[in-house]
Amino acid sequence: MLQNVCKIAGRARSSGVPARFASVWAKVEKGPEDPILGVTVAFNKDTHADKINLGVGAYRDDNNKPFVLDCVRKAEQKIFEAKVDHEYTPIGGSAAFNKLAQSLVFGEESAAVKAKRIVTVQAISGTGALRVGADFMKRFVDVPLGPNGKKVVYVPQPTWGNHIPIYQDAGMDVKFYKYYNDKTCGLDFEGMANDLKTIPSQSIVLLHACAHNPTGVDPSPEQWKAISAICKEKGHFLFVDLAYQGFASGDPERDALAVRLLVQDGHNIGVSQSFAKNFGLYGERIGALSFVTASAEEAERVESQLKILIRPMYSNPPVYGARVVSEILASKELTSLWRTEVKVMADRIIDMRSSLRSLLKEFGSKRDWSHITNQIGMFCYSGMKPEEVDALARDHHVYLTRNGRISVAGITSKNVKHLAKSMVDVTKGL
């Protein structure tokens, strides 16, 4: 028997790579570099003392330092002292965390929450929630197929860059609906409404709940009502990306307004929730995915299918970030502290917007920069052209992405004057 086996396997003990392997790697091309990362790379290379990085997608304090929230530190201390283990969580994450995450988004008093018809599972931050949500919609949400024979997701123009590969990797096509008006640097509401009406009925539509990324342009409450009505009439399936709850206005309830309105209007929505910015827990990758269903029984079925999707992706989610968030939201004292701190972050952003706008005027720019304060959240679509952005980098050591997107988190009281002067210079006082 052994002889036969050896015969089959061959006695030759050569090392070296068989020729056929070369073809596998030869086909692998270098993937495109992340554009936002490119900004940081260029910034790091620059040795100028007054350089400013406006590409950063994380909050910075007024000294331009990363900020770990005090409520987080306190929660971590408690967790450490409790000497917890590292045992696997359930596939959908811990029930305690999921309940707290759900209440934060939908409100404890929500009828849907009380009726247990919302299913919430822990996710790998916002991206993970979007991805599992995408896989779920691909498998179960019955919408007409697009021209490529795939389900289509309609996203705003523009949207967060990563939305597109997430949906594509999940096997769906991405199309755009009008959103940003680059003449007004505000919302193209008519264009958006019209597109939502003319796309096929029962389409999947992605909405940003607040602090639209990358423009900072949000619909008003009245506009949200109108959007809800249009989508209802068309029977669209709505998926809401909520990455900045509390971080946009400083008020978590106010930032969840769109989500709660849609649920109240009877939409059964999907929601991706991130705790990266509002809890400063970026690298811990803590988020949640929710679906609002018709009944508690339906919610259970949906949950069972979400687990089937999660298990082959990563089996069960990382526990540490969930523990921190749970510790905070389960404690009145720590929740209160969190609310104070998230307001501090939001207020600093709002202050910097205000400072920048008034300084631009003070330094002689004739342009209307009101969109800087009209827009909300971490990002501001400045309206600057690619050539102006290049000039900012080249002549003033100010770095941002070429679409003119400023991360307001990178502005401080110490650098805002330099920034304003630079912007006035490259836009030639227009």
Partner 1 sequence: MGCGASSASHNVSSSMSKPTGTASSSAEQKVVRRIISAALIPVESENSFTNMASWFDKVPEAPVDPILGLNAAFKADPAAHKLNLGVGAYRTEDGKPWVLSSVKRAEEIILNSGKYNKEYLPIDGLPEFNVASARLMFGEQLYEANAARIVTVQSLSGTGGLKIAADFIHKFMPHATVYISDPTWANHKSIMSLAGVPWKAYRYIDRATNGLDFGGMVADLDAAPDGSVVLLHSCAHNPTGVDPSTDQWATLADLVHRKGHFVLFDNAYQGFASGDLDRDAYSVRLFLQRGFQFIVTQSFAKNFGLYAERIGACNVITGNEREANCVRSQLKLISRATFSNPPIHGALIVSIVLSNAELTALWKSELKSMADRIIRMRQVGCPPNLALVSASSSPSSSSSSHHLLLFLLRLVALLVLFLRPDRPGSANMLLLLLCVVPAWTSLSECRLCIALDASRSCSIVSYGWVPVDRAATDSIVC
End-to-end distance of the chain based on CA atoms, in angstroms? 87
Whichever of 49 and 430 has its CB closer to partner 1, that residue is: 430
- Write down the least CB distance from residue 307 to partner 1, Å: 7
Element (H, E) at 364: none
Stretch that binds partner 1, among 30-38, 248-256, 335-343, 391-399 (CB under 8 A): 30-38
Burial of 136-152, coded b for 16+ CB within 10 Å and e otherwise, reads: bbbeebebeebeeebbb
357-376 positions binding partner 1, by CB under 8 A: 367-371, 374
Amino acid at 325: V
Dump the DSSP string for 236-263: PEEEEEE--TTTTTS-HHHHTHHHHHHH
Q: List the x/- string, 38-77, binding to partner 1 by CB under 8 A.
A: -------------------xx-------x-x---x---xx
**Axis crossing angle, helix 95-106 with helix 319-329, rounded to the nearest 10:** 60
6-25 positions binding partner 1, by CB under 8 A: 6, 8-18, 20-22, 24-25
- Write down the least CB distance from residue 68 to partner 1, Å: 5
Quote the CA–CA distance of 238 and 209 in Å, as a whole number.
Answer: 11
- The SS3 of residue 211 is coil
The one catalytic residue among 74, 138, 151, 277: 277
Of 294, 296, 336, 386, the one binding partner 1 by CB under 8 A: 294
158-187 positions binding partner 1, by CB under 8 A: 162, 165-166, 168-169, 181-187
- Write down the least CB distance from residue 337 to partner 1, Å: 16
Please check whether residue 255 is in contact with residue 246, taking contact to mean a CB–CB distance below 8 angstroms. yes
Whichever of 21 and 332 has its CB closer to partner 1, that residue is: 21
Active site residue 160: yes
Quote the CA–CA distance of 137 and 174 in Å, as a whole number.
Answer: 13
295-334 positions binding partner 1, by CB under 8 A: 295, 298, 300-302, 304-305, 307-309, 311-321
Here the tokens at position 215 are 């423009």
Cα 144 from chain centroid (whole Å): 26
**Is residue 148 part of the contact set for partner 1 (CB under 8 A)?**
no
Whichever of 349 and 384 has its CB closer to partner 1, that residue is: 384
Q: Which residues pair with 52 in a beta bridge?
A: 398
Q: Determine the size of the site formed for partner 1 (CB under 8 A).
A: 130
- Write down the least CB distance from residue 53 to partner 1, Å: 13
**Is residue 141 part of the contact set for partner 1 (CB under 8 A)?**
yes
Quote the CA–CA distance of 362 and 366 in Å, as a whole number.
Answer: 10
The one catalytic residue among 74, 135, 151, 160: 160
Residue 269: CB partners within 8 Å, gap ≥ 6?
A: 237, 238, 239, 240, 259, 262, 263, 291, 292
Dump the DSSP string for 327-352: HHHT-HHHHHHHHHHHHHHHHHHHHH
67-126 positions binding partner 1, by CB under 8 A: 68, 72, 76-77, 80, 83, 85-91, 124-125
Whichever of 264 and 332 has its CB closer to partner 1, that residue is: 264
Q: How many residues does the chain have?
A: 430
Here the tokens at position 130 are 């979007």
- Cα distances (Å, whole numbers) of residue 27 to 2, 21, 30: 39, 11, 10
Of 49, 63, 82, 430, the one binding partner 1 by CB under 8 A: 430
256-285 positions binding partner 1, by CB under 8 A: 265-268, 276, 280-285
Active site residue 241: yes
Please check whether residue 209 is in contact with residue 227, taking contact to mean a CB–CB distance below 8 angstroms. no
Whichever of 81 and 332 has its CB closer to partner 1, that residue is: 81
Amino acid at 166: I
Here the tokens at position 222 are 């009245």
Whichever of 109 and 222 has its CB closer to partner 1, that residue is: 222
Active site residue 385: no
- Cα distances (Å, whole numbers) of residue 175 to 172, 199, 204, 357: 10, 10, 10, 34
The one catalytic residue among 241, 255, 338, 369: 241
Whichever of 277 and 397 has its CB closer to partner 1, that residue is: 277
- Write down the least CB distance from residue 201 to partner 1, Å: 4
- Write down the least CB distance from residue 63 to partner 1, Å: 13
Q: What residues are annotated to the active site?
A: 160, 241, 277
